[in-house]
Chains A and B, each alone.
Chain A
């Protein structure tokens, strides 16, 4: 419990670490989603063109 309390600075210290974790995970997740979306859009367009030809 002492480790969690951090000498009464616990809420400040843990909120900073939690925020860092959330931001890094969110940015990585957004990057992956965007990449898959761009790739899928291009794939759909190219395959539609191929089918037309």
Chain B
């Protein structure tokens, strides 16, 4: 399994390279550049700007220089728009924020989602089941950009319990985590329930029950593990979707995370920031998918790598 993991990590390098090249080309073929502004810049100023940021070089050389400075110095270059900051600084500031509320949301989504799903499956067709299904469906269909302003309206304006945005301490984390985790929690609950139901009717559980094992033991020891397989498969895409959701969180709760930086960089043509964030998210996704795969293999040893 270690060889497998190493192999996967080795493949990450060409993946990231490809990602860099694709993003670079896409970005540069979009109309408008980082210095497109309403007052057309005098040619000499534009030339100076282009020279400063290396945009006067042929594209292949720009890519090569870029990759080299990452490899040699782990330097993602200066931001084109936030001019007194480097991409490293922007990520160093924004990423811990995104990571904090992202991990919290992830934990909440998994723990609550799985518990709810298992409970619903065990009491299949009971009131609890219907409530759990109803709640999770309701939660799943409410887009987070609807939930976010409602949360602020209720908890900030009406009740005055929580700050309406910003990132100064744990009380600022609550609404972002609720807004981000709810729909994933609901999805995980549904998947868990559905998969648990399947496992519970499978023969090995019947066998276990027939042996007279206590129900609790049957569920925790025999049913939960196989039932987690589809949930684990879902975690990879959920992770990517969560990054998307962080854009909404950043916009509505002014957290200063990288989700907003990501969208802004595309709209502002801030090539350096957009490349930096893309690579970061790409690398994270690769790492995360690897973890999911390893977890999958650990749970179902029949999978051969």
Tell me, yes or no, whether A binds B: no
* Chain A interfacial positions (CB closer than 8 Å to B): none
Chain B residues engaging chain A, CB cutoff 8 angstroms:
none
